[in-house]
Amino acid sequence: MYDRVEKAQDDSKSLDESLKELTKELQTLYKEKETVEAQQTKALKKKTKLELDVKDFQDRITGNIQSKVLPTWWRHMWSQADTYSHLLKNFEVYIRTNLNVAYPLMNV
């Protein structure tokens, strides 16, 4: 009987030591998890900032190209048009108006 009690106490001590080791390991894993989550958050913020920078540069490039390539009147007509046919009608009206002012004898 005494041997069984002694064996149970040894098993209990062994389990306590295992529990302490596992608790320490769990705490280490929690710390690692927090570190990884912090790095992930930092990386996500950096990725978002870079995506916004790329979008900003694309908008700038697009704006520069449009301002250099498309004349002001064309951009204005394009912004006013609901459809392509509406754009053509606006263009026709613009041409008729401006040619009649510039060249009234042509009867465009």
The answer to whether 78 and 87 are in contact (CB under 8 A) is yes
Per the structure, the count of domains in the chain is 2
Per-residue pLDDT tens digits of the chain, which is 108 residues long: 778 888 889 889 999 999 999 999 999 999 999 999 999 999 999 999 988 888 888 777 766 655 655 566 666 666 666 666 776 776 777 776 766 554 455 554
Separation in Å, CA 61 to CA 24, 26, 69: 55, 52, 12
Q: In which domain, by residue range, is 102 found?
A: 70-108
Please tell me whether residues 62 and 76 are part of one structural domain.
no
Please tell me whether residues 61 and 74 are part of one structural domain.
no
Please tell me whether residues 64 and 83 are part of one structural domain.
no
Please tell me whether residues 19 and 2 are part of one structural domain.
yes
